[in-house]
Amino acid sequence: MTDIDLPKAGRVYIFTLFERVWHWSQAALVIFLLLTGFEIHGFWHLFGFERALNLHILAAFALVVLLAFAIFWHVVTGEWRQYLPTSDRLWATVSFYAFGIFIGAPHPFRSSAKRKYNPLQAIVYLAFQVIMAPAIWISGLILWGYSKFPDLFPGDLPVLWVNAVHLAAAYLIAAFLISHLYLITTGETVSSQIKAMITGWDAHGEADED
């Protein structure tokens, strides 16, 4: 795909204030949860085990509340459709990330208010929302509930397996975060996607057709 094939780019308002506050709040909480969570498992020492555990639980509940607001907002506004997988420009995007990016090829996708994420982003973000996030929240709630109210749980509850699911989901989320940090630098410029999530405006976006 050449520059001529691409739609004309311009400054387009992509991300609302709620999306930006949600995004950065979620990012801060996830990073803090990873820091405290891995300390609980003995990877490093920052707060001390007891304090790290209490902070981890507090941040987890804060994230659950934030998630509840985000789900409500996405349902009411219809923005949940942004995460629906699509084959439109999917293989062009795959080719771009596989080798096009290394030879200076133009990105085959430009964001718009109606389609904010390219096909690969939509798939990855959907996987995060419906697989990784539920796995870590459900397993975490089970572990917290078992520690506080053990009598409510069956005696043969496989705590070690639940903890393994929680830790595996944490590794997946850490990998997702690292890849996300890299991929946001692959826009039209290194900082263009970060600026869009700060200001809401994408300087290289595509205006929606009426």
One digit per residue, the tens of pLDDT, for the chain of length 210 reads 444 344 556 789 999 999 999 999 999 999 999 999 999 999 999 999 999 999 999 999 999 999 999 999 999 999 999 999 888 888 999 999 888 888 888 888 888 888 999 998 999 999 998 999 999 999 999 999 988 888 888 877 888 899 999 999 999 999 999 999 988 888 778 888 899 999 999 987 887 765
How many domains does the structure of the chain reveal? 1
Q: pTM value?
A: 0.86
What are the φ and ψ backbone dihedral angles of 47, each rounded to 5 degrees?
Answer: -110, -20
Q: Does 120 fall in a domain?
A: yes
CA distance 127 to 34: 19
Q: Does 95 fall in a domain?
A: yes
Residue 93 makes CB contacts below 8 A (sequence gap 6+) with 108, 109, 118, 119, 120
Q: Does 210 fall in a domain?
A: no
The range of the structural domain enclosing residue 83 comes to 3-205
- The one-character DSSP state at 154 is -
CA distance 59 to 36: 9
Q: Does 160 fall in a domain?
A: yes
CATH of the domain at 154: 1.20.950.20
pLDDT of residue 50: 94
**Dihedral of alpha carbons 128, 129, 133, 138, sign:** negative
Q: Does 174 fall in a domain?
A: yes
